[in-house]
Structure 1
């Protein structure tokens, strides 16, 4: 339903908050169905875009590096990720998603019915427009930075 008056930034931020809350709830439930925490699921999502250095992952997830170590230890025990030494700097540990990690990440996405059903209600033009708008809004976000592991 379109607003009757011009939408201001505060209204947009409120609607984004509602949308992200719904997405996060959907994601958390889907990750839990795979016996993962939301942070573990998010880690797999980040790693699907390509290998990432431990420090860069901590930055993208907005958490302390020691938290990332714990997350990675648990994911590694389940063979969902693996650590590799960087080819260009042996002091850097790069994280790589495994085929099993890819499978679990895809299972999480497939179980996010609330989000998928909402997006499926959009026509092709609306989906493209939403994509373009979100891309513009978050173009400079740290989460969108390149997948360069170093």
Structure 2
């Protein structure tokens, strides 16, 4: 019978990378919240609108992506809908399911939010095109390998 292998502890370099990723995430969210405020949106409203600007999604999937309860998503969509930034529509594949979708105005605001992020204009802009492509590719590998 084999003994269970002890989980290998991360090395110092890995821990340093994890800390830096955490710092990047914190800075991104702070910037996103600030950009959202300039549009009289909360950070959660802005993040949901950003997701909807890519594709319409059912509430359940929005809740999973935002890591919150579906009832919270319903309230956020209600507020975006009241401002004309989102709408609910039937899912063409299953008319029992409602999709939330960004309106034209919602997609415009989502684009303004992305363009308004200082994070994208300052630290990332100082990297060369090749460095940004390398960073994109490495981050993509990390995201695609996530099995959680």
TM-score interval, normalised by the smaller of the two chains: 0.7 to 0.9
Answer yes or no: is the 8 Å Cα contact 1:26–1:115 preserved in 2: no
Greater shift, 113-122 or 28-37, is seen at 113-122
How far apart in 2 are the matches of 1:139 and 1:30? 28
Q: How many pairs are equivalent?
A: 137
Q: Which runs of 5+ in 1 are unaligned?
A: 1-5, 143-150
Q: 2:137 aligns with which of 111, 126, 132?
A: 132
Q: Which residue of 2 aligns with 1:30?
A: 35
> How far 1:141 moved relative to its partner?
5.1
Q: Which runs of 5+ in 2 are unaligned?
A: 1-10
> How far 1:8 moved relative to its partner?
2.5
CA-based RMSD of the aligned residues comes to 1.6
- Where relative contact order (Cα < 8 A, 6+ residues apart) is larger, the structure is 1
Structure 1 segments of 4 or more deviating over 3 A? Answer: none
How far apart in 2 are the matches of 1:140 and 1:78? 38
TM-score, normalisation: structure 1: 0.86
Structure possessing the higher radius of gyration over alpha carbons: 2
TM-score, normalisation: structure 2: 0.87
> How far 1:19 moved relative to its partner?
0.8
